[in-house]
């Protein structure tokens, strides 16, 4: 398949080239797994020098947008959420405000998702939540339940935002789950959330999720102090 690349201006050429390639991925002209043209051809298409192209590719590879395969070429990456967020996870790991900002965001989004789930979840979705709580290992149940509540909300945009937060919060979850008594209390709080959703009680679901997240936030703060 022949793909037309838009030439870029010489000033800030690497930045402009990155923008062009990202836009082509967003609008579907380039798709995950697709091989980019060879270096000489691509530099001519973009009208940039080959050293500038190499800088562009290195930058996009570091962001997990492109993938360089030795002896094969450069490909569009898988573009899954976890891979794309790895660079941001590293930045957040260096920030002392990571825990505060993460839970501030979760407290804005997840109680609302729980309330929506109480209004919209069907019996099958509630049944899956209960099976997860009863049968999955505690940490896996924690991850799965928050995802299931988000899906049951019926708001795909908010559910995607929560997936992003869950990925960024992996390190925090690992620390808090190891603290004494956390998993036991978490299990009881999860049950309260699901019970409220099952009763179709948005206010109770919102309150149960808020109480759960506020306690976990406190545990997370203690784990980093």
Between CA 43 and CA 32 the distance in angstroms is 21
* Residues 142 and 212 grouped into a single domain: yes
Q: Are residues 41 and 133 in the same domain?
A: no
108-136 pLDDT, tens digit per residue, is 999 999 999 999 999 999 999 999 999 98
Per-residue b/e over 16-43, b at no fewer than 16 CB within 10 Å?
A: bbbebbeebbeeeebeeeeebbeeeebb
- pLDDT tens digit sequence for 85-102: 555 555 555 455 677 888
**Token code pair at residue 17:** 């080239």
Whether residue 205 is found in the same domain as residue 104: yes
> Measured between alpha carbons, how far is residue 206 from residues 111, 112, 125, 185, 203 in Å?
4, 6, 18, 18, 5
37 lies in the same domain as 72:
yes
Task: Please report, for the domain that includes residue 136, its CATH number.
Answer: 1.20.120.530
Same domain flag for 169 and 210: yes
Residues 104 and 75 in one domain: no
Residue 214: closest CA among 105, 107, 98, 100: 107
Closest CA to 219 of 183, 167, 166: 183
Instruction: Give the number of domains in the chain.
Output: 2
102 in the same domain as 74: no
Domain identity same for 25 and 133:
no
Total-model pTM: 0.62
- Residue 2 domain-assigned (yes or no): no
User: Which residue, 79, 104, 137, sits at the end of a domain?
Assistant: 79
Range of the domain at 178: 96-224
Answer yes or no: is 111 within a domain: yes
Residues 115 and 204 in one domain: yes
SS3 35: strand
Query: Are 113 and 59 contained in the same domain?
Result: no
What gap in Å lies between CA 164 and CA 23, rounded to an integer? 21
- Residue 101 and residue 200 in one domain: yes
Confidence label for 224 from pLDDT (cuts 50, 70 and 90): low
Separation of alpha carbons 99 and 172, rounded Å: 7
């Amino acid at each position: 398949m022949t793909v037309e690349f838009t030439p870029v201006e010489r000033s800030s050429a690497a930045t402009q080239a990155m923008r062009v390639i990202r836009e082509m991925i967003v609008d579907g002209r380039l798709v995950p797994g697709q091989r980019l043209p060879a270096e000489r051809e691509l530099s001519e298409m973009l009208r940039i020098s080959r050293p500038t192209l190499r800088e562009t590719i290195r930058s996009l590879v570091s962001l997990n947008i492109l993938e360089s395969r030795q002896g094969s070429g450069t490909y569009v990456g898988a573009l899954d959420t976890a891979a794309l967020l790895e660079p941001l996870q590293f930045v957040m790991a260096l920030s002392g405000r990571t825990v505060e900002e993460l839970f501030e965001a979760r407290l804005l989004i997840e109680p609302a998702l729980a309330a929506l789930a109480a209004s919209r979840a069907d019996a099958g979705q509630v049944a899956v939540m209960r099976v997860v709580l009863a049968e999955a290992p505690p940490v896996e149940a924690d991850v799965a339940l928050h995802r299931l509540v988000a899906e049951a909300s019926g708001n795909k945009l908010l559910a995607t935002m929560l997936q992003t937060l869950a990925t960024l919060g992996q390190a925090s979850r690992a620390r808090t789950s190891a603290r004494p008594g956390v998993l036991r209390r978490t299990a009881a709080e999860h049950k309260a959330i699901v019970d409220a959703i099952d009763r179709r009680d948005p206010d109770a679901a919102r309150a149960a999720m808020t109480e759960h997240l506020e306690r976990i936030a406190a545990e997370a703060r203690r784990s980093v102090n």
